[in-house]
Structure 1
Amino acid sequence: MWLTAFLILITILYAGYTAILLLYRKWFLQLKPFTASNNNKPTTHFSIIIPARNEDKYIKNCLLSILQQSYPASLFEIIVIDDHSTDETATVVQQIQQQYHNVQLIKLADELGGKILNSYKKKAIENAISYAKGEWIITTDADCIAPTKWLITYDAWIQQHNTVFVAAPVAFINNGSLLQAFQYIDFMSMQGITAASVNAGFHNMCNGANLAYRKDIFLQVNGFKDIDNIASGDDMLLMNKIRKQHPKGVSFLFSKEAIVTTYPMPSWKAFYNQRIRWASKAEQFKTKDTSIFVVLIWLYFFNATLFILPWCSFFTIDCLAFWILFILLKTLSELSFALPVAKFFGQPFVWWFPFMQPLHILYIVMSGWLGKFGNYQWKGRNVK
């Protein structure tokens, strides 16, 4: 009796999960790739803000990828905000400054004067914006690499669309290892959901490694006020604030020439800490964006039931057979969405994707639980 009821519950959750994925697939396939015209004349002045904490291994390549853009240097500036780095991050930036006049370095420690926070990244961005001269703010991370036409594509999009906030694609570098392949598939799927949902206006997701917004709009919504106590959310929570005042002003730049690449987490521990940090934002959407919250809860409970089901095989072996069946069905549903997304990113889809399902289920359940009830480490800090 209990098994029948449990299987009915899983079936209902699976049906809803599949319906959501098919909806995302429909919206994603409606997107039209954007390319900047060769006749486009750059006009937008950008302030590119890069929060950096202990990034001396990556910051140079990040800066050079931006400085070597096919975009007039007079129309953009780079502001690196050093978040209490204990390595040579500041030194590397200062060396770059000697060659390029449009690079600025700000030290968050000097700005805060010893004040302790729960969200240093938001405060770093907020301080950098106070120095920004550009009409548009672009944020990226210190370990990211921007493509050559990144800024010219942003500029063309802004000129051709009535938008105040632009989310754009991010991709992980994948060397083929289990850890990197797992992260790249998972993150790529999230990027596909981001593109589809923003374009459809259903709900809004984005990633701070590649997004832009008008400076005056940031100030109009009072920046990170009321969300600055939350450790993460400098991207999605800000997007939600802006969307409330400008519901038609949020857009997604669906262009291969705007894809920023970044490095995945180097270890499973670092990966889980990152995903717990991301999951910690979910609670905020209970009141801020109900559609996101409902989808996240549905996703969590579907995976939670799949996590519990194989353990029920201690009572009846039939549970194991049903678990395998639902794993296969889940895989087929996810592939229907993930394959066109992989095509956009120009990435092959690994054949052993179905065998990562147990790992994916475990990670969803753990990160969701710890994101609400646990603490985590990020950039050498304990965060709650």
Structure 2
Amino acid sequence: MPWEHWRLRCSNAAPSYPRVPMLVAFIFFGFFFSVCALMLWWLVRAKPVIVASSDCPRVSILVAARNEEAVIERCLASLTQLRYPTDKLEILIADDASTDNTAGVVRRFIADKPQFRLLTVRHRLGTARGKSNALAHLCRAATADYFFITDADMALPPDWIQTMLGAAPDGVGVVTGVTTCNTTLFGRLQGLDWLFGLSVIRLLTDHGLPVTAVGNNMLVTRAAYESIGGYEAMAFTVTEDLQLFSLIVAQGWGYRNLLDPRVLGVSVPQPTVRCLLQQRKRWMKGAVRLPWQLSALFGLYALFYVAVFWPGLLSLGSIAVLFSAKVLCQMVFLKITLRQAGRRESWAVLLGYELYLCLMSGAVLVYTVVPGPIQWKERRYRWAEG
């Protein structure tokens, strides 16, 4: 009897190993929602007032175009609506060996607009390739001290120039605006993706972490650009905007990421899931070069799904509570971001974004891991060279 009593006491005192995963889960979810609360707090307090520049220096707007006949006129039309003196605008479009009628569409549109000029790109400069090469030609041809870089599938707001200039005092070498998409529901969900990611990047930038610039809505000063030797001196990459930003910051230049309706560009969304996967595979190539803090933040976001749905770890009630809390935080974050960007979206679409995010994140991971080239503007690049 004494021996049996002692054995039972020891077994009761032994550690309960199933409690260890529960403790780890408690710590993880506590940390996850603490980070969510911090990001929401930063977002609510992030109300910098960007004073549009009252000066009107000469500026160069640069548009690299390859096979964009279906969308480029929309971009050019938006540039004619800029509230900026026409005689201070130089708008250069590079036809990057298009195989469609991009050049013809541009020529017809700019025929009576002397501020526009079309360049034909047929040879490489230095190490530049693809879009980087087109941009290298554009920067060489530009005559102003400010380069405004955008894509042929973008439409820019009327006060884009003055607002971006207002965020670029002496010492700031690169400024990034904000981007979204619209039209169909699929396009609006892509727009939320843009806003979500750029809002997080803006918050990190505001707190002193240089993350990246986005090449479809970007201001680069000539001085900053020339300090790194230009695109023709850069090692080739399919994420030339991130590389340009990193090199400029490494030279000691300042940087800004803006979330303001006056710098909100509206991109044409990817038309199909396949096209979207091709775009995101290229982005994933650039993601490996992002600062570890941002990678850790997005990794934490991905781990949430692993932890909350781990077999046997949580009860159904706990899963429902945690998942609902995450979705609510996400919806509130997007709602505030939309308000700061001057946009609106229904709560139903914000709720549906969670399903889109889950499905697309899984699909992008699979598509990226499966061997195959990076396809971009009807060109193919190997993963290693990109």
TM-score normalized by the length of structure 1:
0.83
- 2:136 equivalent to 1:126: yes
- 2:223 equivalent to 1:223: no
Paired residue for 2:243? 237
Paired residue for 1:140? 150
Whole-Å separation in 2 of the counterparts to 1:107 and 1:337? 44
Whole-Å separation in 1 of the counterparts to 2:190 and 2:363? 16
* One of 29, 34, 40 as aligned partner of 1:25: 40
Paired residue for 1:377? 375
For residue 151 of structure 2, what is the amino acid of its counterpart? Answer: D
Encode CA deviations 1:24-71: one digit per residue, 9 max, x unaligned: 33333223232427xx231x2211111112111221121121123221
Paired residue for 2:360? 363
- 2:97 equivalent to 1:84: yes
For residue 279 of structure 1, what is the amino acid of its counterpart? Answer: M
For residue 180 of structure 2, what is the amino acid of its counterpart? Answer: A
For residue 132 of structure 1, what is the amino acid of its counterpart? Answer: A
Encode CA deviations 1:216-266: one digit per residue, 9 max, x unaligned: 21121233478643222x22232122112225x111344322211112111
Whole-Å separation in 1 of the counterparts to 2:233 and 2:371? 22
Deviation at 1:361, TM superposition (A): 2.4
Encode CA deviations 1:120-174: one digit per residue, 9 max, x unaligned: 112221221111111111111101111122222233443x564221111222124
Please give the root-mean-square deviation of Cα atoms over the aligned residues, in Å: 3.0
Larger radius of gyration: 2
* One of 106, 109, 119 as aligned partner of 1:96: 109
Question: Is the contact between residue 79 and residue 128 of structure 1 (CA under 8 Å) also seen in structure 2?
Answer: yes
Whole-Å separation in 2 of the counterparts to 1:93 and 1:279? 32
Task: Give runs of aligned pairs for residues 163-312 of structure 1, distance below 5 A.
Answer: 163-175=172-184, 177=185, 179-224=186-231, 228-232=235-239, 234-246=240-252, 249-285=254-290, 289-305=291-307, 309=309, 312=311
- 2:340 equivalent to 1:324: no
- What SS is found at the alignment partner of 1:47? strand
Gaps of 5+ in 2: 1-15
- 2:169 equivalent to 1:153: no
- What SS is found at the alignment partner of 1:112? coil
- What SS is found at the alignment partner of 1:334? helix
For residue 280 of structure 2, what is the amino acid of its counterpart? Answer: R
Whole-Å separation in 1 of the counterparts to 2:338 and 2:367? 29
Question: Is the contact between residue 300 and residue 365 of structure 1 (CA under 8 Å) also seen in structure 2?
Answer: no
Larger RCO (alpha carbons 8 Å, 6+ apart): 1
Paired residue for 2:55? 41
Deviation at 1:275, TM superposition (A): 1.8
Question: Is the contact between residue 49 and residue 78 of structure 1 (CA under 8 Å) also seen in structure 2?
Answer: yes
Question: Is the contact between residue 127 and residue 233 of structure 2 (CA under 8 Å) also seen in structure 1?
Answer: no
The range that moved more, 213-222 or 196-205, is 196-205
Whole-Å separation in 2 of the counterparts to 1:51 and 1:205? 20
For residue 21 of structure 1, what is the amino acid of its counterpart? Answer: C
Task: Give runs of aligned pairs for residues 66-85 of structure 1, distance below 5 A.
Answer: 66-85=79-98
TM-score normalized by the length of structure 2:
0.83
Change (3 A) 1:372 1:300: farther
* One of 307, 331, 334 as aligned partner of 2:330: 334
Whole-Å separation in 2 of the counterparts to 1:293 and 1:378? 24
Question: Is the contact between residue 171 and residue 187 of structure 1 (CA under 8 Å) also seen in structure 2?
Answer: yes
Encode CA deviations 1:6-39: one digit per residue, 9 max, x unaligned: 66555544444433333333333223232427xx
Encode CA deviations 1:182-227: one digit per residue, 9 max, x unaligned: 2122221112112222222223233211110112211212334786
Whole-Å separation in 2 of the counterparts to 1:10 and 1:226? 48
For residue 363 of structure 1, what is the amino acid of its counterpart? Answer: M
Change (3 A) 1:263 1:19: farther
Question: Is the contact between residue 174 and residue 184 of structure 1 (CA under 8 Å) also seen in structure 2?
Answer: no
Question: Is the contact between residue 45 and residue 134 of structure 1 (CA under 8 Å) also seen in structure 2?
Answer: yes
Whole-Å separation in 1 of the counterparts to 2:271 and 2:159? 28
Question: Is the contact between residue 342 and residue 349 of structure 1 (CA under 8 Å) also seen in structure 2?
Answer: yes
Question: Is the contact between residue 159 and residue 262 of structure 2 (CA under 8 Å) also seen in structure 1?
Answer: yes
Deviation at 1:276, TM superposition (A): 1.9
